[in-house]
Chain A
């Protein structure tokens, strides 16, 4: 009996030790750093954010996921271009938390993009590249060998592949949330989002005219990312003490300065329900104001940032 109680004690304490030790140590360091920085930066915290947090128990700012980014690219109706992907051979370059997180997002967007165009071998290659990034970040279970084997076994079934990709994104985002490493999750999403922008801007003709800008579906989706940028800024405020995210944000803020020159005006949104399908259409009209010069600046800045992320 004594032995049983002792074993129970040792087992329980071991579990507690394993669960708390690595995460807590890091969190404590982060929290200490954040409290110091908060004193300096408290004046500049978004007052609206403070108001929101006080009134609402939980606030979620949701960026487009790599899968969503790829689906937007496909929906805008352009063809597949494998030369736009970050080569899988680059994966050995990424040895820091920041570069692994960024390139987990980048490879996941590439993987999603390739899978939507039924590029079977590329899909397998890119899930392996993403797996290496996940392993480097300590989230082995997010994309494990079983995931790769399941994908290989269903390589001709796009629906199953998309489900697998969705699960891997959920595995990593939930792991980061559970372990209070949401800032890393934000970096993953920023990587995937920038990759989507890079692919999108390279699928548009080199120097679009004003008429192209006004009528091109892909350019409209590129301009729409101004709204996603607002979400990124909110996420940055939430995790402002994280040094990796701050470093990524210096590039994103430069991009924001260009996006700030774009104007998107939307009319009142009117929901209209189709009673046959039970699907509601949110009717509204949008007017985009962007000159070819601004588009050129935007494309060049995205190229610079993406090159930095994959280097």
Chain B
């Protein structure tokens, strides 16, 4: 009885793993990433996924004129570096974090409203020849500068 119940318990736990991954990602975005955006305020939209090294993700979003934004790519610890670029609709590169020391935050103001693409790739880890590829949560966080701060910032 004991052996059977332990086996069933392990099986049940294994069934829960994918859901636990999503759930952990959600908690990570809420507990860690949202706070890291400060003093910008998160727009509230949840854009996070479990990614493995070598995998890519893209986000399409309209950014509005004269609003100051912060893009923050937030990853769980022990993940390899994230290479991210911001592209216009014709896929011209407007920002590349690889040429900026893999910085994970980028602040900008569009003069006119623009649809932009945030394209990211989890770089291959340094020890990729050994063991399984590393996976973890990656969240694309969009922050908005609060109105009072915008007024202070403007000349």
Chain A, range 16-71, C-beta contacts under 8 Å to B: 16, 19-20, 52, 55-68, 71
**Min distance, Cβ A215 to any Cβ of chain B, angstroms:** 14
Residue tally, chain A, CB below 8 Å to B: 70
Contact pick for B44, options A57, A67, A230, A286, CB 8 Å = A67
Residue among A2, A62, A63 having the largest count of chain B Cβ atoms under 10 Å: A62
Contact pick for A62, options B9, B12, B47, CB 8 Å = B47
Q: Are B60 and A284 in contact (CB-based, < 8 A)? A: no
Mask for B110-151, Cβ within 8 A of A = 1, else 0? Answer: 111111000000000000000000000000101010110010
CA of A15 to CA of B8, assembled, Å:
13
**Min distance, Cβ A296 to any Cβ of chain B, angstroms:** 22
Q: Are A221 and B16 in contact (CB-based, < 8 A)? A: no
> In the complex, what residues of A have CB within 8 A of residue B29's CB?
170, 174
The number of A-B residue pairs with CB atoms under 8 Å apart is 201
CA of A175 to CA of B67, assembled, Å:
28
Q: Are B146 and A280 in contact (CB-based, < 8 A)? A: no
Q: Are B57 and A59 in contact (CB-based, < 8 A)? A: yes
Q: Are B16 and A52 in contact (CB-based, < 8 A)? A: no
Range for the number of chain B residues in contact with chain A: 35 or more
Q: Are B107 and A64 in contact (CB-based, < 8 A)? A: no
Interface residues of A, Cβ cutoff 8 Å to B? 1-2, 5-6, 8-9, 12-13, 15-16, 19-20, 52, 55-68, 71-72, 74-75, 116, 159, 162-163, 165-171, 173-175, 177-178, 189, 220-221, 224, 227-228, 230-231, 234, 266, 268-269, 271, 277-286
Sample of 17 more A-B contacts, CB < 8 Å, known A67-B41, A68-B64, A166-B43: A5-B2, A19-B16, A19-B19, A57-B56, A60-B47, A64-B62, A75-B64, A170-B44, A170-B45, A174-B29, A177-B46, A228-B62, A231-B62, A278-B107, A280-B109, A282-B111, A285-B111
Q: List 24 A-B contacts (CB under 8 A).
A: A16-B12, A58-B55, A59-B60, A61-B60, A61-B61, A62-B142, A63-B45, A64-B43, A75-B67, A163-B41, A170-B34, A170-B45, A174-B26, A174-B29, A189-B45, A220-B65, A227-B113, A227-B114, A234-B60, A269-B114, A271-B108, A284-B114, A285-B112, A286-B65
